[in-house]
Structure 1
Amino acid sequence: MSFASGRGRKQEASGPAPRAEFIPRELRQVAAPLQRRQVRRTGAGGLAAAWGAASGHLGWAGRRGRGEARRGAFLTERGCRAPRWFVPGSVSMAVQEGGGTGAGEAARGGRRRGLFTWEEIGLRTKRGDPRREMWLVVDRQVYDVRHFYWRHPGGARILKAHIGEDATDAFHTMHADSTLVKSFLSSLQIGELASDEPSSEPSKNKQLIDDFRELRATITKMGLMKPNIFFYLCLLLHIILLEAAAWLTLLYCGTSLLPFTASLIFLTTSQIQASWLQHDLGHFSVFPKTKWNRRFQKFVMNHLIGGSSKWWNLLHNQHHVKPNCYSKDPDVSFHPFLFAFGKNLSVELGIKMTKYMPYNHQHKYFSIILPPLLIPALFHYHNFFVIFKKKFWMDLACMVSFFFRFFFISWNLLGVNCLIFYLLLRMLVSCWFVWVSQMSHIPMDIDYDKNLDWFSTQLKATCNVEQSLFNDWFTGHLNFQIEHHLFPSMPRHNFWKAAPLVKSLCAKHSIEYQCKPLLKAFADILHSLKEYGDLWLDAYLHK
């Protein structure tokens, strides 16, 4: 089989690429771009090396895949230049370029991986270094994600946020089936921690980490991670009934002010409750199988709400792994352009003489900017921006059904006033969503990432609101924000059962567990914004 080299010459490959019928569909999809790139860069042996790289990257353990990987390694040793992402024998080229005890043996024979210390990992992944490696640790195994992070299904920023860190708890918490996911990571592994090294960074509290993992195992054994399907079906039914009531009110009672307002209230409630439900589906907490969670989330988010489920998951997962961490949590991205968040960050802005807004008055303009305008403005712009940037065409096609249904019904009932009805609907949903979602985060610690353990990271960034039937329904059980952040895939109807166990662990390690009334939680948003603004002003005036 012949193909054109980088200089246009015809060269003979050392062996044919695997026949299509022997290759899994997923492998063909990944190998195609690798094949084209390899042909351009390497000349002889490029095609076989591409198939070998794809086989190793996907963890395809077939005999033909391993053979192509060995053939690609052989050609590389004969002088064919391979890109860094080539994976001969499941050992990445990053290892061959040096790093870790035993890296030389791994590069030459692919039989042994490196042994690393936390000090070495810290030096090789130092922020600001132009030659910075992209290594992270999961269950004491060291992985190089340089050539994978941009294809990570949960988004590239999640992996980049954990570079140089122990990501074990984040990995197991954010994956519904971490065992299955880990089986695909062998091609990314470059070594493991030395036997005398701790499993997490020496700066972290080992006892707290062990206690949290024991708590997670206990909660799993208690069955608190198992969903009640009937509970969620009732939620979906009441969402559909509320939307039906909204349209029937306009149909049978007319379009005067009173039925117009009643219909708006019904539809707003339906939309916000649908938002809480799709949030649960996005965390795989409704159905035992991931694919059913994904399918129903697409139905609720795309068809009932008119948003992109992939857009939501992309941003929300980033928020969960690094909550209230500036530049890593998208929920605090309004700092510093609209608001000054966090005590230290506000002082830093003042010292730097940064003033995009009059932050000392932010507690006054917060209520008229963020709550009513987040969804009408940012939701529409950023939603479609990400859809077209990431090419989420299926999500876009599904969203069309919402807009067609909404405007077809509302136009026949309200005429041109349907535009006003839509705008008011989005503003009311936005207000409800912002006050509920931010009451547990804005008053808490907002700062740069301090690389704390999972339990400490979540407790510093979240607080709870007192339980009641109304609070549970009104907030979609996000009044248990602490338990939700510690165990995102836990069904929401089990939060109250896990709360006493979390409180006992907090008491053991002297960590504050905050719980407050609902109205006080709303008021604390404004109080904390005023405090941040005053700190900024003092630093700005050099007092």
Structure 2
Amino acid sequence: MGKGGNFNTEGSKKAQDEQELKLLKWDEIKQNKWIVIDNIVYDVTNFSRRHPGGERLMLNHIGQDVTDAFSCFHNDMNKVGKYMKAIKLGRVLPESEINPNEERKLELSKDFKNLKALAEKMATYLIYKSGYGNWFTYALAVAFLSTTQAQAGWLQHDFGHLSVFKSSKLNHFVQNIIIGGIMGFSSDWWNYRHYQHHAKPNTVKRDPDIRFGVLYLIGKVLPIEYGKKKMKKLPYNLQQYYFFFTLPPLLIPIYFVLETVYYLIKKRKLNEIMWISLYLIRWYFMFVPSLGVFGTIKLWFRSQLLATCNVEQSTFNDWFSGHLNFQIEHHLFPTMPRHNYRKIAPHVKELCKKYDINYQCKTLSEATIDIYKCLKESGEMWFEAYNM
């Protein structure tokens, strides 16, 4: 009885405190480094630099209602609440909370929250020796190793999204072992990039996963800008061709390695360097003896659907992509274990049908061809603008 009484008192006090907060208009919110969560305004001007996801992630959301994005990324609300209390600034002015023209969007937001609750019910928390007698056995071992490395990438992805254990620290610890000790990359670097990707998926200049420097021009704005400025660092009208022999073989073995080294040195991440050192030591003892040489403000739901698509389900596609062929479900529920994506997918489709939102699902070949066409279109736009 005593505990229940305390709980009610604390709840009433919280509601009273929120009523006493300063009332703020959206016009004022959008002009500052503030965000809105459940109609409460938070000042992230200084906190953004200390945010685990990185400052850029926070700055990409200033002046916006981030309620859905916030709830999808944070599991431990008690821990997060300790930080939020210090930066709480005010409350959205009541008359500005509901726009008569936004009722449909608010209804979608409510339905998505119900869908998220269903997803949470589905979620379950998971808790040698070889010789090189000849080149055949060596090649076989390399094939197995390559497969292991690829699947380790999908596995660390789950831990990075905090979808395996309830404890964030335990998730990050195991992620360090997998991506650092097994793959030779920094978990801190991966999280820094990947959280930005989820926050603004496939948004030019916001998503680091489509930030290719001078190699490719993506979208419908950048190619024209380059063309008008007569910038021809590469023949971009041919980028759909050189994509296949540049990005796939260069991305992980070269670009990601160089970016990881730069990131670790810049951030002075000594613990990350330790994990990667263990990977290099293991690699040395595995290969050097055998080779004899050194080796080498939109709604969350709608915005995620507009920027992503699925690759159709099949035994091969599920295994090959680590179940990330369910890109829509993964971006809607980043903390959900991968094996549950196929279970929640029918419910997502149903919600899309209700609100007339396109649920894109393509074959693997269609998705590959789309990449080609996208690069070709952007390259041609640059070429046309360049020669004007």
Q: If the length of structure 2 is used for normalisation, what is the TM-score?
A: 0.89
Mapped contact 2:227–2:386 kept (Cα < 8 A): yes
1:128-147 equivalences in 2 (<5 Å): 133-147=32-46
Q: In terms of Rg, which structure is larger?
A: 1
* Counterpart for residue 114 of structure 1: 22
Mapped contact 1:362–1:530 kept (Cα < 8 A): yes
Q: What amino acid is aligned across from residue 147 of structure 1 in structure 2? A: N
Q: Flag the 1:377–1:252 CA change in 2: closer, same or farther, 3 A.
A: closer
The reply on whether 1:214 has 2:114 as its aligned counterpart is: yes
Mapped contact 2:109–2:299 kept (Cα < 8 A): yes
* Counterpart for residue 70 of structure 2: 171
Q: Name stretches of at least 5 consecutive residues in structure 2 with no aligned partner.
A: 1-16
| C-alpha distance in structure 1 between counterparts of 2:206 and 2:352, whole Å | 25
Please state how far the C-alpha of 1:227 moved relative to its aligned partner.
2.9
* Alignment root-mean-square deviation, CA: 2.2
* Counterpart for residue 353 of structure 2: 507
- Equivalent pairs: percent with the same residue? 44
| C-alpha distance in structure 1 between counterparts of 2:364 and 2:336, whole Å | 23
| C-alpha distance in structure 1 between counterparts of 2:22 and 2:368, whole Å | 51
* Counterpart for residue 81 of structure 2: 182
Q: Name stretches of at least 5 consecutive residues in structure 1 with no aligned partner.
A: 1-105, 126-132, 230-243, 424-450
The reply on whether 1:325 has 2:233 as its aligned counterpart is: no
The reply on whether 1:227 has 2:125 as its aligned counterpart is: yes
| C-alpha distance in structure 1 between counterparts of 2:98 and 2:242, whole Å | 46
| C-alpha distance in structure 2 between counterparts of 1:390 and 1:224, whole Å | 38
Q: What amino acid is aligned across from residue 284 of structure 1 in structure 2? A: L
| C-alpha distance in structure 2 between counterparts of 1:252 and 1:226, whole Å | 40
The reply on whether 1:537 has 2:383 as its aligned counterpart is: yes
* Counterpart for residue 159 of structure 1: 58
Question: Which of residues 223, 236, 240 is equivalent to 1:359?
Answer: 236
Q: Flag the 1:200–1:390 CA change in 2: closer, same or farther, 3 A.
A: farther
Please state how far the C-alpha of 1:311 moved relative to its aligned partner.
0.9
* Counterpart for residue 133 of structure 2: 253
Please state how far the C-alpha of 1:252 moved relative to its aligned partner.
4.0
* Counterpart for residue 493 of structure 1: 339
Mapped contact 1:306–1:399 kept (Cα < 8 A): yes
Q: What amino acid is aligned across from residue 110 of structure 2 in structure 1? A: D
| C-alpha distance in structure 2 between counterparts of 1:296 and 1:350, whole Å | 46
Mapped contact 2:152–2:179 kept (Cα < 8 A): yes
* SS of 2:123 mapped into structure 1: coil
Please state how far the C-alpha of 1:153 moved relative to its aligned partner.
1.2
* Counterpart for residue 150 of structure 1: 49
| C-alpha distance in structure 2 between counterparts of 1:397 and 1:216, whole Å | 38
1:262-273 equivalences in 2 (<5 Å): 262-273=140-151
Mapped contact 2:132–2:138 kept (Cα < 8 A): no
Please state how far the C-alpha of 1:112 moved relative to its aligned partner.
5.1
Please state how far the C-alpha of 1:510 moved relative to its aligned partner.
1.5
| C-alpha distance in structure 1 between counterparts of 2:277 and 2:99, whole Å | 47
Q: What amino acid is aligned across from residue 454 of structure 1 in structure 2? A: W
Q: What amino acid is aligned across from residue 328 of structure 1 in structure 2? A: R
The reply on whether 1:302 has 2:200 as its aligned counterpart is: no
Higher relative contact order (CA 8 A, sep 6+): 2
| C-alpha distance in structure 1 between counterparts of 2:36 and 2:172, whole Å | 28
Please state how far the C-alpha of 1:138 moved relative to its aligned partner.
1.0
| C-alpha distance in structure 2 between counterparts of 1:226 and 1:206, whole Å | 29
Q: Flag the 1:300–1:200 CA change in 2: closer, same or farther, 3 A.
A: farther
Please state how far the C-alpha of 1:199 moved relative to its aligned partner.
6.4
Please state how far the C-alpha of 1:470 moved relative to its aligned partner.
1.6
* SS of 2:215 mapped into structure 1: coil
Mapped contact 1:135–1:142 kept (Cα < 8 A): yes
Q: Flag the 1:481–1:493 CA change in 2: closer, same or farther, 3 A.
A: same
Q: Greater shift after overlay, 149-158 or 176-185? A: 176-185
Q: Flag the 1:115–1:202 CA change in 2: closer, same or farther, 3 A.
A: farther
Deviations 1:73-112 (A, max 9, x none): xxxxxxxxxxxxxxxxxxxxxxxxxxxxxxxxx9xxxx95
Q: Flag the 1:350–1:213 CA change in 2: closer, same or farther, 3 A.
A: farther
